[in-house]
Amino acid sequence: MARVVLENVFKRFGKAQVIHGVDLEIEDLEFMVLVGPSGCGKSTLLRMVAGLEKISDGTIRIGDAVVNQVAPKDRGCAMVFQNYALYPHMNVFKNMSFGLKLMGTPRPEIEKRVGEAADILGIQDLLKRKPHELSGGQRQRVAMGRAIVRKPSVFLFDEPLSNLDAKLRNQMRIEIKRLHQKVRTTVIYVTHDQIEAMTLADRIVVLRDGRIEQVGTPLDVFERPANTFVAGFIGSPPMNLLPARIVSHGGQLCLRFNDAFQLPIPDRKGARIEDGQEVVMGLRTESLTLENGSESEGVAEAWKVEGMVDVVEPLGGETHLHMDFFGVKFIARAEGYKVVAPGATLKMVMNLDRLHIFDAASRQAIY
Ligand SMILES: Nc1ncnc2c1ncn2[C@@H]1O[C@H](COP(=O)(O)OP(=O)(O)OP(=O)(O)O)[C@@H](O)[C@H]1O
Ligand SMILES: [Mg+2]
């Protein structure tokens, strides 16, 4: 069992506090992704789990044991770094087996484990090569192989794919997912790439400035962002987030953007909105689409609106339309390759089933 539990964990570098009381439970065999902007403390958290960085306060448990005072090599963790950290003068076999050799593992066992890891990663033919004779993707596989042979109970990945080009990154992302299906271990994976986070994770932790903003499944954080930060960070292109005021017209609450543009707010259980409140409206680009498009079928609360096209970004399979509704700018998304001239007027539909409202002051979801 390798559950990983962080209780009220703090980290200070001198006077600067960079992790401010993090509580997190990672289940056995779970694939947990830590995501957040540069400098938010992802690597620091991971390094504290690995034991490469001392914690300033709090408790970290791996399995049943508190590991605050346990040396890195005795924590049952194996870490894969962004820069691979391979030994340049050793061939692939030696790089992968070095840690085992240090631990005094018998030669036949070393050969068996390296062979198995090489099979899993498809690098059997590379065992005699030195790192400089490998491509970036192959080096990353060797780095993962070196972690696998140790049979860790927890895998720690720190941005393992960020040195690779976009195509290879996609391919390796799938390989990491497959790896987790084959080598059943707990994984903590750090990235700033929200697509990696969405596609790999059982659950995602969104971090900002050393604090957790939200923990949830990819669908949770995508469909029910707890605040404007998570709403804007997860999803590409990002969610439309626009300031508005709640106004009441004969009992019907509306979002008022300006004199010319208001949206009725469908009643929803648990909503905490009131007349006069300053808010931020959230609407994902896919919830704003062409009136005659198939995406708008089956929407219970559809609001039709005419807007002017500002900029068009055709991506092939879909088109992003930068729209202007009475002076308010939205990004919309349409299926397929759409050729639309800037300045054209389009009939669009907003899917208000998928409307989000956040309090302007607290930035927390209130609808
Ligand atoms: N050894 C150190 N001494 C002082 N400050 C540090 C040290 N290591 C990290 N920090 C600070 O701690 C904060 C968190 O850093 P960390 O490396 O964990 O961020 P990150 O989320 O991994 O960022 P990135 O995405 O850029 O890798 C940053 O403000 C950083 O400057
Ligand atoms: Mg980092």
Phi and psi at residue 96, to the nearest 5° = -70, -30
Whether 27 shows a pLDDT value over 80: the answer reads yes
Domain identity same for 69 and 112? yes
Task: Give the whole-angstrom CA distance, residue 57 versus residue 172.
Answer: 36
Phi and psi at residue 60, to the nearest 5° = -120, 130
Domain identity same for 208 and 324? no
CB-count exposure of residue 56 (10 Å: 0-12, 13-18, 19+): middle
Give the ligand with the smallest distance to the CA of 18. 1
Q: What is the CATH number of the domain that holds 293?
A: 2.40.50.140
296 touches 242 (CB < 8 A): no
H/E stretch holding 114 reads: helix 107-121
Q: Whose CA is nearest to atom 17 of ligand 1?
A: 43
Domain identity same for 197 and 286? no
Looking from the CA of residue 37, the nearest atom of ligand 1 is 25
Q: Is residue 304 part of a domain?
A: yes
Domain identity same for 107 and 205? yes
Domain identity same for 125 and 152? yes
Q: What's the confidence (pLDDT) of residue 296?
A: 61
Q: Say yes or no: CB of residue 41 within 6 Å of ligand 1.
A: yes
Q: What's the confidence (pLDDT) of residue 15?
A: 94
Domain identity same for 250 and 166? no
What is the CA(215)–ligand 1 centre distance, in A?
Answer: 21
Domain identity same for 100 and 175? yes
Q: Evaluate the omega torsion of the peptide bond into residue 37 and state whether it is cis, within 30 degrees of 0.
A: no
Q: Percentage of the chain with pLDDT > 70?
A: 98
Q: What's the confidence (pLDDT) of residue 298?
A: 65
Q: At what angle do helices 166-182 and 136-148 cross, to 10 degrees?
A: 20
* CB crowding 210-244: b at 16 or more within 10 Å, else e: bebbbbbebebbbeebbbbbbbbbbbeeebbbbeb
Query: Given 174, 205, 233, which residue is the final one in a domain?
Result: 233
From 12, 13, 190, mutation site for ligand 1 pocket: most ligand atoms within 8 A of C-beta: 13
Task: Give the whole-angstrom CA distance, residue 1 versus residue 305.
Answer: 54
For the chain, the average pLDDT equals 93
Q: Is residue 365 part of a domain?
A: no
Q: pLDDT tens digits for 209-243?
A: 999 999 999 999 999 999 999 999 999 889 999 99
Q: pLDDT tens digits for 76-95?
A: 999 998 888 899 999 999 99
In sequence order, the β-bridge partners of residue 65 are: 62
Looking from the CA of residue 159, the nearest atom of ligand 1 is 27
CB-count exposure of residue 320 (10 Å: 0-12, 13-18, 19+): middle
Q: Say yes or no: CB of residue 38 within 6 Å of ligand 1.
A: yes
From 38, 44, 161, mutation site for ligand 1 pocket: most ligand atoms within 8 A of C-beta: 44
Q: Say yes or no: CB of residue 18 within 6 Å of ligand 1.
A: yes
Q: Stretch 193-215: mean pLDDT, rounded?
A: 95
Q: pLDDT tens digits for 310-358?
A: 999 999 999 999 999 999 999 999 999 988 999 999 999 999 999 999 9
Q: What is the CATH number of the domain that holds 214?
A: 3.40.50.300
Q: Is residue 311 part of a domain?
A: yes
Q: pLDDT tens digits for 245-265?
A: 999 998 899 999 999 999 999
Collapsing DSSP to helix, strand or coil, 338 comes out as coil
From 9, 33, 43, mutation site for ligand 1 pocket: most ligand atoms within 8 A of C-beta: 43
Q: How do beta strands 31-35 and 203-208 pair?
A: parallel
Domain identity same for 162 and 297? no
198 touches 218 (CB < 8 A): yes
Give the ligand with the smallest distance to the CA of 42. 1
Q: pLDDT tens digits for 67-76?
A: 999 999 899 9
H/E stretch holding 280 reads: strand 278-283
Domain identity same for 52 and 172? yes
Domain identity same for 52 and 97? yes
Q: Say yes or no: CB of residue 39 within 6 Å of ligand 1.
A: yes
Helices and strands counted in the chain (H then E)? 8, 20
Banded pLDDT at 1 (limits 50, 70, 90): low
Query: Given 233, 261, 285, which residue is the final one in a domain?
Result: 233
Q: What's the confidence (pLDDT) of residue 310?
A: 96
Domain identity same for 127 and 184? yes
Whether 297 shows a pLDDT value over 70: the answer reads no
Range of the domain at 64: 4-233
Residue 69 has a CB neighbour count (10 Å cut-off) of: 7
Query: Given 183, 205, 233, which residue is the final one in a domain?
Result: 233
What is the CA(239)–ligand 2 centre distance, in A?
Answer: 25
Q: Say yes or no: CB of residue 69 within 6 Å of ligand 1.
A: no
Q: pLDDT tens digits for 133-150?
A: 999 889 989 998 999 999
Q: Stretch 31-35: mean pLDDT, rounded?
A: 97
Q: Whose CA is nearest to atom 18 of ligand 1?
A: 41
Q: Whose CA is nearest to atom 25 of ligand 1?
A: 38
Residue 260 has a CB neighbour count (10 Å cut-off) of: 10
Q: How would you classify residue 332: left for phi > 0, otherwise alpha for psi between -120 and 50, otherwise beta?
A: beta
Task: Give the whole-angstrom CA distance, residue 167 versus residue 220.
Answer: 28
Q: Is residue 277 part of a domain?
A: yes
Q: Whose CA is nearest to atom 31 of ligand 1?
A: 39
Looking from the CA of residue 47, the nearest atom of ligand 1 is 18
Q: Is residue 366 part of a domain?
A: no
CB-count exposure of residue 92 (10 Å: 0-12, 13-18, 19+): buried
141 touches 121 (CB < 8 A): yes
Domain identity same for 14 and 42? yes
DSSP codes, 205-266: EEEETTEEEEEE-HHHHHHS-SBHHHHHHSSSSPPEEEEEEEEEETTEEEEEEETTEEEE--
- Binning the chain into helix, strand and coil, the percentages to the nearest 5 are 30, 35, 35
Total domains present in the chain: 2
Record the tokens describing residue 172, joined without a space. Answer: 């390796």
Q: Is residue 367 part of a domain?
A: no
Q: Say yes or no: CB of residue 82 within 6 Å of ligand 1.
A: no
Q: What's the confidence (pLDDT) of residue 294?
A: 66
Q: Say yes or no: CB of residue 90 within 6 Å of ligand 1.
A: no
